[in-house]
Amino acid sequence: MKTFLGLALCAAMAAPAGAGACETDSLPTAAGELKVTFIGHASMMFEFGGKVIYNDPVGQYGD
């Protein structure tokens, strides 16, 4: 399962690279700047405080 998730993440990161630049919004907060990058469909990437969170919602949940 970990291998599948790793490959899916690599594919998701590589796909937008060939499609052009992704849209990024920067939001100032009291604790620093929050960057929100739209990757595609409902997928987003959040960057804050040196950390990156990828959000890719799905319609079905695994066990």
CB-facing half-sphere around the CA of 56: CA atoms within 13 A: 10
Is 34 contained in some domain? yes
* Confidence band of 16 (pLDDT split at 50, 70, 90): low
Q: Domain total for the chain? A: 1
Is 19 contained in some domain? yes
Mean model confidence pLDDT for the chain: 81
Query: What is the pTM for the complete model shown?
Result: 0.58
Is 63 contained in some domain? no
Long-range contacts of 42-46 (CB under 8 A, 24+ apart): 43/12
Is 8 contained in some domain? yes
Alpha-carbon span 20 to 56, nearest angstrom: 19
Q: Which one-letter DSSP state was computed for residue 50?
A: T
Is 60 contained in some domain? no
**Range of 7's domain?**
2-55
Is 33 contained in some domain? yes
Percent of the chain topping pLDDT 70? 67
